[in-house]
Amino acid sequence: MSLVEPVPGEPAAVADCGSERALVVADYHAGIEAGLRYERGVELRSNADARRGRLRALRDRVSPDRVVVLGDLVHRIGDPDRGERDEVAALLDALAVPLTLVPGNHDGGVADAYDRIDVADAGGLRLGNVGFVHGHTWPDRAVLGAATVCMGHEHPQVRLEDEVGGGRVEKAWLRGRLRVGPFADRFGVAPESLGWGDPELVVFPAFNDRSGGTWINVDGRDFLSPFLPAGLDGDAEAYLLDGTRLGSYRRV
């Protein structure tokens, strides 16, 4: 059985971290509606209550020991504004289990704003044999010694077309082995000196429904992470939230 098992139908997974079980999500983006207003002039009613309700329902469904967020808990880059602070505070109250954040590129002020959140280093965190990163920076070497590495940041999606040219975009999981070469080059060591765990990479779909994403099966759409796609085996596969296996993400 895999150390990281998606929750059917949801952009979330349960990770077996040895001494505890973690509910893992990525890219919550609290306060995104305010961000869309000042970034793009888009007016949307806040979906904070629904986001919180979805994550609380997942907590009730899987009974984790902790929640791990793979970066971008908040949307605003820099210090969270009042709306984000209120949303995150309400979320922490609702979850009633420890929350660990692997900070992403949007989380610069989170550590100072919330003393109830365990904030890891930007290079990632390892719990048992599972590593956790956001994906906007290269992982720490300790993370690469895990059997499975979980990351967010990309918000992976696939564009699907039918026989008559109709199309739709759906959230997707991306899973495949990491390649040791790019990481050994990054750290300037021989591959055998890296402490490599031959990890499977699990790229999480975004938890937030309003955050867009990377179309991983469309030519010309670049990955955001500095180690993708070079660090990912070419046979990596895409899966829909319902578990449908789409095969190699390059040929979906």
Question: For 180-209, what is each residue's pLDDT tens digit?
Answer: 999 999 999 999 999 999 999 999 999 999
Q: Give 19: exposed, middle or buried? Use CB within 10 Å, 0-12, 13-18, 19+.
A: exposed
Q: Given this model, what pLDDT does residue 165 score? A: 66
pTM of the model: 0.93
Q: Given this model, what pLDDT does residue 46 score? A: 81
Q: Given this model, what pLDDT does residue 222 score? A: 86
Q: How many domains is the chain partitioned into structurally?
A: 1
Place of tokens 């759906």: 170
Q: What gap in Å lies between CA 172 and CA 150, rounded to an integer?
A: 14
* Full domain range(s) for residue 45: 4-251
CATH number where 80 lies: 3.60.21
Is 92 in a helix, a strand, or coil?
Answer: helix
Q: Given this model, what pLDDT does residue 77 score? A: 54
Q: What gap in Å lies between CA 37 and CA 112, rounded to an integer?
A: 25
Q: Given this model, what pLDDT does residue 40 score? A: 61
Q: pLDDT under 50 in the chain at which residues?
A: none
Q: Given this model, what pLDDT does residue 179 score? A: 97
